[in-house]
């Protein structure tokens, strides 16, 4: 099984590497993140007065621990399909979260997030939360 890491798990790993290091080692080579979550991490880095250390941490993680999956045409198509299926049921999922979920669906990855409430209604999406005690 391979995993798509949401921004919350990536930022937790960057802040406290020892907290998730066992999962990163256990699933080495099977960890992915969407380019969308990477963009959110760059916002996190540039919020700092001096982003140098945070940017270096992101680069190290990206180069050695987590593969980046681009948001492409297939993901956009899946996003549109799922968005309309959910809207027909009266369910709204935040746009960025649904974009991230569409990457997991297209690439058959288990979504790892602490924000399970926003993802719970996405049909076919497997969820896991590594931040739970």
- pLDDT tens-digit profile of 58-87? 999 999 999 999 999 999 999 999 999 999
Checking if the pLDDT of 17 tops 80, the result is no
List the domain boundaries for the chain: 3-128
| CATH fold label, 3-128 | Rossmann fold (3.40.50)
Who contacts 21 (Cβ-Cβ below 8 Å, separation ≥6)? 13
pTM of the entire predicted model? 0.94
Alpha carbon distances (Å) from 22 to 13, 19, 25: 11, 8, 5
């Amino acid at each position: 099984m391979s995993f798509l890491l949401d921004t919350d798990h990536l930022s937790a790993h960057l802040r406290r590497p020892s907290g998730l290091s066992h999962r990163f080692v256990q699933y080495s080579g099977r960890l992915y993140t969407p380019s969308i979550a990477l963009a959110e991490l760059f916002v996190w880095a540039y919020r700092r007065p001096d982003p140098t250390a945070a940017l270096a941490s992101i680069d190290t993680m990206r180069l050695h621990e987590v593969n980046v999956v681009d948001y492409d045409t297939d993901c956009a198509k899946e996003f549109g399909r799922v968005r309309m299926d959910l809207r027909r049921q009266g369910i709204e999922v935040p746009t960025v979260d649904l974009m991230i979920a569409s990457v997991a669906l297209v690439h058959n990855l288990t979504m790892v997030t602490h924000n399970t409430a926003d993802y719970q209604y996405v049909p076919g999406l497997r969820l896991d939360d590594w931040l739970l005690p």
